Structure 1
Amino acid sequence: MEEILKQILGELEKTNKRLDSVDERLDSMENQFNVRLDSVENQFNVRLGSMGNQFNERLGSMGDQFNERLDSVENQFNERLDSMENGLTKRLDTIERQTADLTEFKTDIKQGLGDLKDNMKFLMLREVETQKDIFILKQAKDK
């Protein structure tokens, strides 16, 4: 029986050694897993940081492009507005000149018509006087 107990004890010691070996291998695998997990986590953080930087750069670039396009549209709008304003100013200046010319023309016509009216009155008066003189001469001749 002692021999059986020694055999069982030997088997138990072998089993213990095997379990210790398995335990060491599990510890080693756990350590390897933790190292790999840390490595993957670090790589993930690095890549995530890189992607974040790229995203921020692209977002900044898009913002710059948007601002450039907005500035361009604003400049075009201002140029067209200035052009329209200049065109309207020129048209208003032209209208003012034409109005002044027409006002001067109207004044000249009124003055001319006044002078013509005076001349017509004078001529009518002269004609009446001439007719009177003819009448007097005819009567003097007939007497």
Structure 2
Amino acid sequence: MEQSLTVWLLPAFALLAGIGIGFLIARIVPNAAPNRTQRQLDDLQERFDTYQSEVVTHFNTTASLVKKLTQSYQEVQEHLSEGANRLALDELTRQRLLAALHADEAASPRERLTPPKSNEAPKDYAPKSPDAPGTLDETFGLKGKY
């Protein structure tokens, strides 16, 4: 009986020792991996935040540059209008210069295509005269009567 007890106790103790050693190793070793993973996650988050701030900065700069461009265009238009009013020798020349400056604003919209005059759908067959046989008629295309 003692021998059978030893046969069962020795593997049981080995199993418990293996479980204990495995548990200790599992608790000690993986601590390095989560720290590395956490560092990678933090690095990616920092890069993403940096990218987002760069995008916001880019679009803010673009918006301010477009605003400056619009203001410059308006200033040039005003300068040309004032020059046309001040430097034109006669009224006809002044009117022509001002009309040329404001031609872009008063330009008519592009002409659209006109819709067809008839709402009838296009036919997928050749039209026929009223007394001629249709394409589904038995005698269509025959030259003589049979």
Normalised to the residue count of structure 2, the TM-score between the two structures is 0.52
Structure 2 CA distance for aligned equivalents of residues 14 and 85 of structure 1:
105
Q: Does 1:79 align with 2:80?
A: no
Identical residues among aligned pairs (%): 9
1:92-107 residue pairs with structure 2 within 5 A?
92-94=85-87, 98=90
Considering only CA atoms, is the larger Rg found in Structure 1 or Structure 2?
1
Query: In the TM superposition, what is the alpha-carbon distance from 1:44 to its structure 2 partner?
Result: 2.1
Gaps of 5+ in 1: 1-7, 100-143
Residue deviations 1:67-108 (CA, integer Å, cap 9, x gap): 22222222222211111111122223346x746xxxxxxxxx
Unaligned runs of 5+ in 2: 92-146
- Aligned residue runs from structure 1 range 1-143, under 5 A: 8-94=1-87, 98=90
Q: Distance in 1 between matches of 2:56 and 2:10?
A: 67
TM-score normalised by the chain length of structure 1 = 0.53
Paired residues in the alignment total 91
Give the root-mean-square deviation of aligned CA atoms: 2.2
Report the Cα distance in structure 1 between the residues aligned to 2:27 and 2:78, rounded to whole angstroms: 74
CA distance in structure 1 between the partners assigned to 2:70 and 2:27 by the alignment: 62
Q: Decide which structure has greater helix share.
A: 1
Instruction: Work out the CA distance in 1 between the residues paired with 2:81 and 2:20.
Output: 89
Shift in Å, 1:49: 0.8
Q: 2:75, 2:28 → 1: CA distance? A: 69
